[in-house]
Amino acid sequence: MTLTKKILLGMFLGIIVGIFLNLVTPQAYPTIETYILSPVGKIFISLIKLLVVPIVIVSIILGTAGISDPKKLGRIGTKTIVFFLTTTAIALTLAIGLATLFQPGVGNFQLEGAQFEGKEAPPIVDTLLNIVPTNPFEAMTEGNMLQVIFFSILVGFAISQLQGRVKLVVDFLDQANDILMFLVGVIMKLAPYGAFALIAVAIGGQGIDAILAMAKYFGIVLLALFAHLVITYGSAVAMFGKTNPITFIKNFSPALAVAFSTSSSSATLPVSMDVAQKKLNIPKSISGFVQPLGATINMDGTAIMQGVATIFIAQVYAVDLSMGDLLTVVLTATLASIGTAGVPGVGLIMLSMVLTSIGLPVEAIGLILGVDRLLDMTRTAVNITGDATCALMIAKGEERHAESYSEAIAES
Ligand code: ASP
């Protein structure tokens, strides 16, 4: 059996066991969760997470160094940011449109139950100002990805300018990259068991009642995620990536399965880069630059949840949102999704920033808390698909650029 099939089987069995624990033996759930499922899941997540910081450093340095022409670096950087921002804005428009159309928040909701300690979301200006680290080693030990990325781009740029003089460092990093990617392969052998345990915990610990009560909200977030995946990414992959979207998703599925089970873009990064380079044939220099950046700042799935949740909460509190409010939601949710770290559940904390921006009560997050774990799994899968779509598109764009350049040279 291929690894992908094994992971899918693990996920399927996880769902079955989760439902069984939830409905048939809820009293046994805490013991099985504490002593069997959670330990297996945690070991798997820690094993892949341990590779994240070294992989980001090595691949971004090599990625940036590989794009030796500063013009090319500028072109790829600009395209990447434009793609990230445009797709996030489209995602939010879809989310707001569907939530306005289907009105998930109209009906009876018990507002007394809504209790959520509104944590202050970090101001986005601080996040942006903090990109420049004063101590790169501190950034690495703290896992501050934006700072690590910034430092690695600087080193990569220096290498590209120094060319042959730092060949030893380049060889060292190349070999380090091979070692890390080899380890990804080894750890992925455990993915079916990790996925099984993580999904059984997520489903077993969920009150089915909570999901039923929130079925409409739940369904609309899923619908918006699906629509974004099929329409936005599907057309980008077909038109600009010159690839059949079904083949693309099939090849990318091992990474999707890991994103789904870990709910963390950042933890999935080693796998999503491995798959993008080996199965989608995206050059290392482009995948190594675009995907780590995307896993940190590009979160369309998270933006979708935030968009639907905001409209849902406004409907529950019977607040009419003006066009200006909706634009504020698009803007703040774009910033909030940029500021969301690629780890489980942070999207929900950042939602408080969006709610506050249009004067909605932050405690209302308590209403959607119960179903967020399952939605987190799905939106994380969408988050990383956006990054891979962008990497594919840029890879194909660069191929075309190189072709037209050599044609121009041949003509002259
Ligand atoms: N879990 C998401 C991710 O890692 C972030 C979030 O929406 O909470 O991509």
> Whole-number mean pLDDT of the chain?
89
**Nearest 10 degrees: Cα torsion 230, 236, 239, 241:** -110
> Is the CB–ligand 1 distance for residue 234 below 6 Å?
no
- 4 CB near ligand 1 (under 6 Å): no
Do 3 and 189 meet the contact criterion of CB atoms below 8 Å apart? yes
Ligand 1 mean position to 261 CA, how many Å? Answer: 12
Which atom belonging to ligand 1 lies closest to the Cα atom of 266? 4
The response to whether residue 264 sits with its C-beta less than 6 Å from ligand 1 reads: yes
* pLDDT over 70 (residue 112): no
> Ligand 1, from 298, 305, 383, 384: best to mutate by most atoms within 8 Å of Cβ?
383
The more confident residue out of 401 and 12 is 12
The contacts of residue 313 (CB under 8 Å, 6+ apart) are 105, 355, 360, 361, 364, 365, 367, 368
- At the topology level, CATH places domain 3-411 in Proton glutamate symport protein (1.10.3860)
Q: Against a cut of 0.75, is the pTM above it?
A: yes
| 194 ligand 1 Cβ < 6 A | no
265 Cβ inside 6 Å of ligand 1:
yes
HSE-CB of 183 using CA atoms within 13 angstroms:
15
Query: What pLDDT score was predicted for residue 292?
Result: 93
What does the alpha-carbon distance between residue 179 and residue 54 come to, in Å, rounded to a whole number?
Answer: 11
pLDDT of residue 122: 60
Confidence of residue 121 (pLDDT cuts 50, 70, 90): low
d(CA 327, CA 321): 10
* pLDDT bucket at 124, cuts 50 / 70 / 90: low
What is the token pair recorded at 106?
């109209």
**Candidates 380, 382, 384: which one to mutate for ligand 1, based on the most atoms within 8 Å of Cβ?**
380
Of 231, 245, 289, the residue nearest 79 (C-alpha): 289
For the CA of 376, the closest atom of ligand 1 is 1
Query: What residue type is assigned to position 67 of the chain?
Result: I
Tokens for 96, please give them: 């707001």
Q: Is 118 in the pocket of ligand 1 (CB under 6 A)?
A: no
pLDDT value for 113: 52
SS3 track for the chain: CCHHHHHHHHHHHHHHHHHHHHHCCCCCHHHHHHHHHHHHHHHHHHHHHHHHHHHHHHHHHHHHHHCCCHHHHHHHHHHHHHHHHHHHHHHHHHHHHHHHHHCCCCCCCCHHHCCCCCCCCCCHHHHHHCCCCCCHHHHHHHCCHHHHHHHHHHHHHHHHHHHHHHHHHHHHHHHHHHHHHHHHHHHHCCHHHHHHHHHHHHHHCCCHHHHHHCHHHHHHHHHHHHHHHHHHHHHHHHHCCCCCHHHHHHHHHHHHHHHHHHCCHHHHHHHHHHHHHHCCCCCHHHHHHHHHHHHHHCCHHHHHHHHHHHHHHHHHCCCCCCHHHHHHHHHHHHHHHHHCCCCCCHHHHHHHHHHHHCCCCHHHHHHHHHHHHHHHHHHHHHHHHHHHHHHHHHHHHHHHHHHHHHHHHHHC
CA trace torsion 263, 265, 267, 269 (10° rounding): 140
Among candidate residues 373, 400, 334, 375, the one with its CA nearest the CA of residue 87: 334
What residues contact residue 132 under an 8 Å CB cut-off, 6+ apart? 147, 150
Nearest residue to 379 (alpha-carbon basis) of 88, 125, 130 = 88
Distance, C-alpha 151 to centroid of its chain: 22
Give the mean model confidence (pLDDT) for residues 168-179.
94
Distances from the Cα of 366 to the Cαs of 210, 284, 361, in angstroms?
12, 42, 10
Q: Report the nearest-CA residue for atom 1 of ligand 1.
A: 344
Mutate to test the pocket of ligand 1, among 145, 263, 269, 308 (most ligand atoms within 8 A of CB): 263
* Token pair belonging to 322: 């003006």
pLDDT in tens, 329-374: 999 899 888 878 888 888 888 898 899 888 898 888 888 887 888 8
Tokens of 365: 């997050």
- What is residue 273's predicted lDDT score, i.e. its pLDDT? 95
Residue 380 Cβ < 6 Å to ligand 1: yes
Ramachandran angles phi, psi of 240, nearest 5°? -95, -30
Residues 6+ apart with CB under 8 A from 284: 59, 62, 63, 66, 177, 277
Q: What percent of the chain has pLDDT over 70?
A: 95
For residue 288, name the pLDDT band (cuts at 50, 70, 90). very high
261 CB near ligand 1 (under 6 Å): no
CA of 172 to the centre of ligand 1 (A): 33
The pLDDT assigned to 110 comes to: 62
